[in-house]
Amino acid sequence: MPKDEELKLLRRRRRAELMNRLQTRKAEEGRKRGDPKKILRRIVTDRAWEVLKVAESQYPEATCRIEEQLARLVSKGELEGPILGGQLLWLFRCLGMNVRLETRIHILEHGKLKTIGEKLKESQI
C-alpha cells in the first residue's frame, strides 16, 4: 500500500512539473511572438507604414493576419531587409486586396510647392 501512495505522489509531482514546463514554454512563445508591429518596425519603411495603415482601415482582419505572418517570417529570419511601400502594395494586390491610396501630385515652381489643381487654375486664368 505505501508503494502505491508513493507512486501516486510521484505521478502527481511529475504531472505538476510537466504542466509548469508547458506553461513556461507557452509564456516564452507569447513573449517571442510579441506585437507584430514592433517586429515589423525593424524592416518596414516610411511609405510602407502608410500602405499598411490604409490597408488596415480598408481590410482590418486580413491586414492583421498578414502583419502576423510577416512578423513571423521576420522573427524566423526568413524575411530580411527593408520592405518598401510599393512592395507591400504589390503584396496586398497579389492577395486580391485592392488597397486604394490617396494620390497627390505636387509641382515645384519658382521655389513654391503647388498642387496640380492650383497649377491648372493658374494656367486657365
Q: Cβ atoms within 10 A of the Cβ of 35, count?
A: 10
Average pLDDT over all residues of the chain? 88
- How far is 107 from 96, CA to CA, in rounded Å? 33
Write down the domain spans for the chain: 33-124
* CA distance to 26, 44, 64, 71, 95, per residue, from 77 (Å): 21, 15, 20, 10, 22
**pLDDT tens-digit profile of 72-114?**
999 888 988 899 999 999 999 999 999 999 888 888 988 999 9
